[in-house]
């Protein structure tokens, strides 16, 4: 094989490795989240598999330094990635329900889905080096050049995937394009000429066309979008009264929902944000951290015609989806910032009557918003008698309540009064549920009842028991929020099948039914 062609093959395989790893994070997101444990599993397992591939590929090349075998290794990697594109969703549903510990689930999923192709791609570099070395006195130069090209390919694949591909195509399309590219590269490595070039073009076209059909069969009317920061699913379900509910799932969390044709709030905890008007009756300006589908901002503007709201949402893609699917409209009283809430808090000179936090999910919590330093900035942007309200998913007592108690201990260092409202089970501290934390900047004793029957109902859910400060304060230097959150995952996983996960398994087990349903959606 020509030296230049070998260099091109090494470059492309290096790019393919990083593309596969980055897309893997988006493939995992709706099932396992995007926590540090997911990235640790992906990076660690892929590096281990590449190391095994380096060793195995070197031995294989010494025994049989043949171009045909070299191309078969690359072709096998492409075929396996094509299988991953088709089977990742049902396999991840199985993994999610097989492991209570997200760390074990992430490791198992990475080993099965991305371990074998990483081993195969790892074998490419030493095999290419063996095929390239013809003069022993230039072997160092040859190997160094190939390593450099592989690294350049990895860098190129990283930026291309992160900046362009993930924001432009679905995960399935990207994986099938990668599979087609690797299979085509294998063909080029083994045979040159018109036939090979025709096969290359055919494989690429087939991969793209097949991916569109696959998405139609598997997902039906499910909207599956990669934004700059997240993987987002939008789908319709029915509530207990049979009303049509549109939901937005950001990675592995149901982030927002609305009744189709109505701005009525669906999630119980979002109504507790209305307590801001109880603790600060002359509420005029509000900052909300986290927008997603903008369910509460729409409610707030409708109920408070004289007030204004600023929303800081890190992902502009979510705002665009809210405009397209959740009825978000421009309003002179609504100002939207697309950046990390911590950076806005750090530089803000505005003063707000209330700060509402809806960015704390059950597990993948943005730790920079939980710390003592962040709470000091929230305290600084509040007016003298302002109020901060945050939604948490946690228990109050035991190991499952460590996350809540850590945040409470942090808030108590800054705010003179901190209250907790248990949304679903006000008398059960061991249950994982929505817990609404209210932090008051004023040290005046608040009113614990309201003449407004709705607000008074929420106020009755106040936690009256003692919550000990037995967990260290969260700081920018040390905020192990994901470790604290591990204990609540088994209970969350045991609450039943996610509707999208159920649809995926039904499509996998009964593809003919899936085809019929997909045709109904298409027609």
- Residue by residue, what is the 3-state secondary structure of 322-370? HHHHCCCCCCCCEEEECCCHHHHHHHCCCCEEEEEECCCCCCCCCHHHC
The Cα–Cα gap between 386 and 381 comes to 9
The DSSP bridge partners found for residue 246 are 236, 258
Give the relative orientation of helices 139-160 and 102-132 as an angle to the nearest 10 degrees.
Answer: 140
Task: Give the CATH number for residue 433.
Answer: 3.40.50.150
Statement to judge: residues 110 and 252 lie in one domain: no
Buried residues in 121-154 as b, exposed as e (16+ CB within 10 A): bbbbbbbbbbbbbeeeeeeeebbebbeebbeebb
Statement to judge: residues 445 and 333 lie in one domain: yes
Instruction: Round to the nearest angstrom and report the end-to-end CA distance of the chain.
Output: 51
Least Cα distance to 189 among 36, 77, 278 occurs for 77
Statement to judge: residues 27 and 62 lie in one domain: yes
C-alpha to C-alpha distances, 189 to 103, 122, 149, 186, 347, nearest whole angstrom? 39, 16, 16, 5, 55
Average pLDDT for residues 415-421, to the nearest whole number?
A: 96
Statement to judge: residues 145 and 259 lie in one domain: no
- Choose the final residue of a domain: 159, 185, 219: 219
Quote the DSSP letter at residue 164: I
Is 90 exceeded by the pLDDT of residue 96? Answer: no
Task: Tell me the two tokens of residue 374.
Answer: 């962040």
Statement to judge: residues 165 and 297 lie in one domain: no
Is 70 exceeded by the pLDDT of residue 205? Answer: no
Is 60 exceeded by the pLDDT of residue 199? Answer: no
Statement to judge: residues 142 and 33 lie in one domain: yes
- Give CB contacts under 8 A, 24+ apart, made by 163-168: 165/19, 165/23, 166/22, 166/23, 166/26, 166/226, 167/226, 167/227, 167/228, 167/317
DSSP codes joined into one string, 95-158: HHHH-SSHHHHHHHHHHHHHHHHHHHHHHHHHHHHHHH---GGGHHHHHHHHHHHHHHHHHHHH
pLDDT for 238: 84
Is 70 exceeded by the pLDDT of residue 169? Answer: yes
In a domain, 46, yes or no: yes
Statement to judge: residues 25 and 103 lie in one domain: yes
pLDDT for 261: 82
Is 80 exceeded by the pLDDT of residue 108? Answer: yes
The Cα–Cα gap between 390 and 375 comes to 11
Task: Tell me the two tokens of residue 142.
Answer: 């040859």
**Would you place residue 523 in the very low, low, confident or very high pLDDT band (cuts 50, 70, 90)?**
very low
Please say whether the beta carbons of 297 and 291 come within 8 A. yes
Task: Tell me the two tokens of residue 229.
Answer: 């920061």
Mean confidence (pLDDT) of the chain: 86
Is 70 exceeded by the pLDDT of residue 484? Answer: yes
pLDDT in tens, 264-289: 899 899 999 999 999 999 899 999 99
Average pLDDT for residues 72-92, to the nearest whole number?
A: 90
pLDDT for 253: 78
The Cα–Cα gap between 295 and 305 comes to 16
Please say whether the beta carbons of 166 and 23 come within 8 A. yes
pLDDT for 137: 66
CB atoms under 10 Å from CB of 480, counted, come to 15
Is 60 exceeded by the pLDDT of residue 201? Answer: no
Q: Which domain holds residue 168?
A: 3-219
Statement to judge: residues 187 and 275 lie in one domain: no
The Cα–Cα gap between 340 and 343 comes to 6
Q: Is 242 helix (H, G, I), strand (E, B) or coil?
A: coil
Statement to judge: residues 387 and 446 lie in one domain: yes
127 phi/psi in degrees, rounded to 5: -65, -45
In a domain, 519, yes or no: no
Least Cα distance to 250 among 296, 301, 313 occurs for 313
Is 80 exceeded by the pLDDT of residue 405? Answer: yes
Statement to judge: residues 171 and 278 lie in one domain: no
In a domain, 258, yes or no: yes
Task: Give the CATH number for residue 159.
Answer: 1.20.1250
In a domain, 522, yes or no: no
In a domain, 97, yes or no: yes
In a domain, 7, yes or no: yes
Give, for 235, the enclosing helix (H) or strand (E). Answer: strand 231-238
Q: Length of the chain, please?
A: 523
pLDDT in tens, 449-474: 999 999 999 999 999 988 988 999 99
Segments in 220-247 forming alpha helices (H): none
**Would you place residue 521 in the very low, low, confident or very high pLDDT band (cuts 50, 70, 90)?**
very low
Statement to judge: residues 180 and 312 lie in one domain: no
The Cα–Cα gap between 232 and 34 comes to 12
Statement to judge: residues 274 and 396 lie in one domain: yes
pLDDT for 498: 66
- Choose the final residue of a domain: 219, 253, 273: 219
Please say whether the beta carbons of 16 and 146 come within 8 A. no
Is 70 exceeded by the pLDDT of residue 208? Answer: no
pLDDT for 217: 46
In a domain, 224, yes or no: no
In a domain, 228, yes or no: no
| 128-137, 162-171, 195-204, 292-301: range with lowest mean pLDDT | 195-204
Count of domains forming the chain: 2
The reported pTM is: 0.80
């Amino acid at each position: 094989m020509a030296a230049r062609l070998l260099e091109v093959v090494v470059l492309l395989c290096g790019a393919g490795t990083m593309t596969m790893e980055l897309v893997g994070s988006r493939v995992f997101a709706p099932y396992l989240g995007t926590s540090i444990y997911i990235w640790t599993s992906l990076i660690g397992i892929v590096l281990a598999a590449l190391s095994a591939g380096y060793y195995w590929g070197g031995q294989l090349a010494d025994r049989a330094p043949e171009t045909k075998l070299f191309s078969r290794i690359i072709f096998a990697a492409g075929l396996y990635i094509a299988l991953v594109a088709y089977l990742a969703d049902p396999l991840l549903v199985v993994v999610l329900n097989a492991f209570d510990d997200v760390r074990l689930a992430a490791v198992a999923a990475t080993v099965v889905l991305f371990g074998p192709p990483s081993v195969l791609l790892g074998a490419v570099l030493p095999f290419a080096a063996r095929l390239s070395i013809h003069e022993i006195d230039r072997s160092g130069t040859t190997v160094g050049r190939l390593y450099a090209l592989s690294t350049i390919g990895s860098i190129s694949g990283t930026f291309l995937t992160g900046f362009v591909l993930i924001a432009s195509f679905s995960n399935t399309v990207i994986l099938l394009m990668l599979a087609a590219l690797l299979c085509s590269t294998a063909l080029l490595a083994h045979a040159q000429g018109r036939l090979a070039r025709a096969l290359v073009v055919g494989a690429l076209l087939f991969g793209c066309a097949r991916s569109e059909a696959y998405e139609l069969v598997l997902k039906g009317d499910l909207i599956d979008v990669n934004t700059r920061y997240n993987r987002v699913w939008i789908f319709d379900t029915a509530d207990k009264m049979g009303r049509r509910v549109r939901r937005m799932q950001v990675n592995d969390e149901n982030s927002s929902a609305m009744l189709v044709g109505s701005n009525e709030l669906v999630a119980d905890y979002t109504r507790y944000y209305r307590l801001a008007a109880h603790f600060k009756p002359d509420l005029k300006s509000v900052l909300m951290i986290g927008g997603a589908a903008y369910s509460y901002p729409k409610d707030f503007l409708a109920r408070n015609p004289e007030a204004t709201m600023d929303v800081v949402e890190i992902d502009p893609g979510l705002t665009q989806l809210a405009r397209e699917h959740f009825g978000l409209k421009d309003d002179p009283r609504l100002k939207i910032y697309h950046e990390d809430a911590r950076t806005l808090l750090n530089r803000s000179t505005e003063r707000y009557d209330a700060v509402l936090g809806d960015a704390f999910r059950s597990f993948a919590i943005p730790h920079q918003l939980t710390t003592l330093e962040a709470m000091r900035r929230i305290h600084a942007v509040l007016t003298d008698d302002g109020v901060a309200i945050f939604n948490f998913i946690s228990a109050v007592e035991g190991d499952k309540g460590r996350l809540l108690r850590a945040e409470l201990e942090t808030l108590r260092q800054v705010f003179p009064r901190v209250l907790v409202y248990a949304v679903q089970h006000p008398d059960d501290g061991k249950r994982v549920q929505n817990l609404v934390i209210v932090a008051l900047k004023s040290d005046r004793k608040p009113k614990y009842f309201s003449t407004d029957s709705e607000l008074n109902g929420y106020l009755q859910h106040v936690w009256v028991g003692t919550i000990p400060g037995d967990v260290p304060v969260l700081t920018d230097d040390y905020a192990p929020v994901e470790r604290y959150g591990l204990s609540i995952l088994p209970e969350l996983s045991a609450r039943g099948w996610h509707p999208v996960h159920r649809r995926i398994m039904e499509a996998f087990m009964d593809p003919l039914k899936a085809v019929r349903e997909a045709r109904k959606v298409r027609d």
